[in-house]
Structures are given as C-alpha cells and as structure tokens.
Chain A
Amino acid sequence: MIKIWSMKKDENAAAKKKPKTSAAQIRVQKDLTELDLPSTMKTSFADPADLLNFTLTITPDEGMYKGGSFKFSFHINTNYPHEPPKVKCIPKIYHPNVDLEGNVCLNILREDWKPVLNLNSVMVGLQYLFLEPNADDPLNKEAAEEMTKNRDRFAANVKNTMRGGHLGSQRYDNVMGAA
C-alpha cells in the first residue's frame, strides 16, 4: 500500500483533480456545442437546462419529402456514448424506414453505433433517410414494396400522406404545417 502512496507522490505534478461533471454530460456538451447543422435541421430543448432530452426537426429541401417538417425525439442516457441516443419519429409518417410507432431503421442508431460517432452523425444520418429512402431495410413493408414496384405511386402516396391523408386503413399525420 505504501508503495502505491509513494508512487502518487512521485507523480504529484501530473495528478489533477477532476470536476464532478459526468463523462456523459461533458460529451453531450461537446457534441451539441459543436453541431454543424444545415438550415434544414433545427434542435429544440423543452428545458434548456436539460441537454439529454430534446427534439430535432428536419425540413428536407429536396427529394420526395420536400416541404414536410419531421420532428424526432432524442433521449440520451448516462451511458452515452457507450450506448447510442434513443431516437423516435414523433409524427406518424409514410416512409419505408420508419414504422408507424416512430421506430427508425438507421444502422448507426443500433447495430453500427460506436462511441466515436456523435450526435451530428446521427442527425445527418436521419436527414439522409428523407433524401434517399432505402427499400432494402424496410420497417414499413408496404411503403418499401410500393417504392420498388411503382415509384410514381409511392411518390404520390408520400405527397398524400404528408398532408395528413389516409392510405389503406392508416391515417398519417399532417407534416406540412409549422416547421
């Protein structure tokens, strides 16, 4: 024991007392304050003192989802960045990679998450889903099938459902309103 304590003495100069801010908290501060988002994405904090829970609104300016405004909830737990943030799409939308419960199929949100990734990568990844919906990883199977079978009809469905229309037995949320 004594040996360890004397070791400390030798290294006194290098040793520094650390703040009590948790590693997750500092990492979220770093991620958020270094966000470099295009004008098509905007974060919003219900409680600005709470960095761990917020929403992201994506308003694509090209592609089939142009003109819509898509809100996602972000929940970050104290095990971040060991665990990815939990992200859900709030409105009910017609998209091959988003199911009706708001689950999103984006690899970096689950199987491909790594601590070196950050909130910026997740946000950019989400925006990409609206520019390039991917029928190979479907969460909404009908939407994915339609997209491969008949792209025009799929585009028309997207347009229709974004205004809050029905499709089959399903009613979708209007996302054309306030951004």
Chain B
Amino acid sequence: MATIGNGSATADWPGRYFHIDQILDKPGPRTDPGFSAGAEARFKLSFRKPFIVWKVEVKAFLRDQAKILVIGAGGLGCEILANLALTGFKDIHVIDMDTIDISNLNRQFLFRSKDVGKSKANVAAEFIMKRVPGVKVTPYFGKIQDKDDDYYMQFHLVICGLDSVEARRWINATLVNLVDPENPESLKPLIDGGTEGFKGQARVILPTITSCYECSLDMLNKQTVFPICTIANTPRLPEHCIEWASVLEWPRIYGDKKMDTDNPDHISWLYKTASARAKEFNIEGVTWSLTQGVVKNIIPAIASTNAIIAAACCNEAFKIATSSAACLNNYFMLIGTDSVYSYTFEHEKRSDCPVCGGESLDFPISRDLTVEELIEMLTEKQDIQIKKPSLSAPTKQIYFQAPPQLEQATRPNLEKKVSELIPEGGEITVTASTLPFSLSLNVIYT
C-alpha cells in the first residue's frame, strides 16, 4: 500500500484525501513554523527542501510509514480507530483485553450483537479493515503489560482511550522509560483521552519533555468512597447496601476467595445480598445494573462525549504526525455538566514526579567500591548531600536505613562491592527524606 510519492501498489483512488490534502498542501496562518519549507533549519526533513517535496514526504510518512498504537477498543477506542483510519493513518495497532458485552452495543459502534463474547480488539480491527480499504489494523487481545519495550518501540505514536488509572500509569511509565537521549525516535508522544458523563479530557504527553500522567495523578476525580462505619451501621443509599455486600459480607462469607466483578454469578450474589440489606433498612433502588456499576466502578459513558474527546485526540495525532499545526500544549478539559465549558492549559511537570521527575545521574565508581563507601560518597558529595540514603536495584534491596528488620537483612550488603550487586550500566534507586522523591544512579565502572 502506498500513495503519492512512490507509485507503489495503492488502495487509494483519486480524491480520496481531497479534504485532508487541503490542509497539508497549504500552510495556514496558524501552521507550525516547521511546516514551511526551509523555514527552520532544525527540521531535518524540511531543511532546504522546496515545500512541494516536503509536503509529499509528509503525506508519505502519514500514509506509508506512521505506525500508531491505540490502547483500548471500547467507547473511546471505537471512535479513535474510525477517526484515524479516515484521516489517513494506515498502519494501526490496537490492544484491548476485554470481550464484548451486550451492554457495550449502545455506543461501541464497531460491534454487533453477533460479536458478543468476542475480543473487542479483534472485532474492531476486522470492522475497520472491511470498512476502510487499504488500512491495516493489527489487533492484540490481551493486556498492555504482556508487551515489552521492543514492542512499544516500533510505534511512532500511542493513543489511549482507557478507563483504568492503573493501565494509564503503566503505559505512561513505560513510555517515559523508553526515552533514550541518544535516539530521538525513542520519544513516543502519548495522547490520552478520558471521559466521565458530560466531562472529558484530552492531553498530549511528550515523555520526559512535558508533564506526564503521573505528574497529574492528584487532579483525578476521586471515586466516591463511603466511610466503612456508614456502610456497616447507617446505610441510607442503595450504594451503601451494595458496598456492604462487597466490602464486608463477601470476605466474611467467602474468606480469601477473590470476588470477580466479571463473573455474573458473583454479581448475582452481591445483588441478592445487597437487596436483602436494602429491604431491612427500607432503602429503594438496588438493581442488578447498579450493583455491577458500583463494584466495577463503572463510570457513566456517553457516546457523544466519547466522540468529542476521541476526535480531539485524533486531531492531535494527525497534527503531530504531519506537523501541519501546533499540537495541544498540553491539557484540554471539557466540562459539559453546567452549560459547556472548555479549558486548555499547560499542566506543569512536577519535579517530585516518581516517573518523570527526580534526578538521574551518571555515576562513575571503581569496581572495588563497597556499598558502605558508596553511601558515604552520597552523604558527603557536595552537590548531592543526602542524609541517610536507602538504596535498591530494580529487583533487589541493597541497603535500607529502616525499618529495623530490613536494615538488619540488608546490612551484610554494606561490606559487599557495588559491582557484585549491580551490573555495568545498572540503576540504583536512592530514596531519602532529604530528596523530594528519588534519585537514580546510572552505575558506570571506571
């Protein structure tokens, strides 16, 4: 498949990208400075190239080379996949671990009732490929955590349409870790979308450059959590009864057996238990779907809000891939709960962010240096001066100042040479009360 520029086999037809080409063929007043040919020497591709050549190359990049990963094939994911395919991205990958539930069909428009029970990623990929000729969508039915750095390295861009904080934190940390200063292509822009009812947000994260997902964790709307004593003694809401069933009754009856919120038998049990409780306290409103909503923390999803946010995310992907306009810097918020209000601002990077903040030092030491001597060095070194540092490697503890049991367990390491514990180029994570979060040392043996 391919288009303009290299004449290879093509699924395109005349005028297929007529509208999009209008954007790419004419720089507008707000076009990114790098867009104009030769305008800025630092843009390699456009440097000293006539605009006509440059625009051909941009189209070729978008349509032949750009490889984009979509995480999540749910409400946002369906919209994102459709938008990307229709704007000209042709090599799209999609990951989702979920299967299609009948309740998804009201908004996840790539699925039909015959698809219930099948993988969202597989069905979505098939649908898009059938509907938009020439687009290749490669699905993966599984978890993002199944994939390693090499897998993520192959993409130019990642778009997330997820409802899980944990998955977002994971992909964010993975992409920040992937950045290698020696290799510009290791920087994978992450575009993250999220919705909740009439509210939503879209943001562009340039790992290590802009604020990351972890930097903004404290901005998250907290899910409603009820005090446990209210649940236990003074329930007033149907939610209190459902929480009572799941938080208190389930472990009391089933002990360590884990509750599976995807198991309809478990939900039925919770529903019955919660209903009995509600009856006892004259509370109305416990339903099967509310039970499922409360225990799975289902956030109300509105198809049209998903459409707005997915569209915002995909426009950013297009702008980043083509440099045809300045991209979002870096947080767009949509609030549709009281009239419609939107706000775009630059969320600031946090210096104490556990993922992108903190400091990392190349740390040359002798192969004979002991852990104790290393700690002395850290304590005495003028520019660091860390009080009581605790040290660990990604898979093991090196020396912990506290608590007493761990101090004792790691004390024998003090006499060992650092080189016995850490390979060349290995990382040591240092924490101390005098550090905002942590310091990482790249060990280099001299």
Contact = CB atoms under 8 A, between A and B. Distances in A.
B interface, size bucket:
35 or more
A1 B431 contact: no
Interface in B393-427: 393-394, 396-397, 400-406, 409, 427
Interface stretch (B224-232, B263-271, B281-289, B363-371): B224-232
A111 B251 CA distance: 20
Contact of A33 (B46, B184, B401): B401
Contacts of A45: 405-406
B427 A48 contact: no
Interface centre among A18, A35, A45, A113 (most CB of B within 10 A): A18
Given A9-B184, A15-B181, A17-B179, A34 B442 contact: no
Interface of A: 1-12, 14-23, 26-27, 29-30, 32-35, 37, 42-45, 48-49, 51, 78-79, 82, 97, 99, 101, 103-105, 107, 109-111, 113-116, 137-139, 141
A3 B32 contact: yes
Given A16-B181, A17-B177, A26 B431 contact: yes
Contacts of A30: 390, 431, 437-438
Interface centre among A4, A5, A10 (most CB of B within 10 A): A4
Contact of A103 (B228, B354, B390, B427): B228
Contacts of B392: 21, 29
A33 B404 CA distance: 9
Contacts of B208: 11, 14-16
Contact of A3 (B218, B247, B323, B431): B323
5 contacts: A4-B187, A4-B189, A7-B206, A82-B166, A111-B225
B290 interface: no
B176 interface: yes
A19 B181 contact: no
A43 B320 contact: no
Interface in B423-446: 427-429, 431-433, 437-438, 440, 442
B91 to A, nearest CB: 13
Contacts of A105: 227-229, 232
Contact of B185 (A5, A7, A34, A103): A5
Contacts of A101: 248, 251-252
A29 B45 contact: no
Contacts of A115: 217-218
Given A11-B209, A99-B248, A101-B248, A48 B227 contact: no
Interface in B172-194: 173, 176-177, 179-181, 184-185, 187, 189
B113 interface: no
A18 B402 CA distance: 25
Given A2-B45, A115-B218, A137 B227 contact: yes
A104 B320 CA distance: 50
A171 B177 CA distance: 53
Contacts of A4: 187, 189, 206, 320
Contacts of B206: 4, 7
B355 interface: yes
A1 B405 contact: no
B442 A17 contact: yes
A97 B405 contact: no
Nearest to A110: B225
B360 interface: yes
A51 B402 CA distance: 12
Given A79-B166, A139-B228, A26 B218 contact: no
A82 B217 contact: yes
B245 interface: no
B356 interface: yes
B233 A141 contact: yes
B257 interface: no
Given A20-B177, A26-B438, A103-B248, A43 B394 contact: no
A164 B38 CA distance: 84
Contacts of A10: 42
A35 B248 CA distance: 30
Given A15-B179, A79-B169, A137-B227, A32 B402 contact: yes
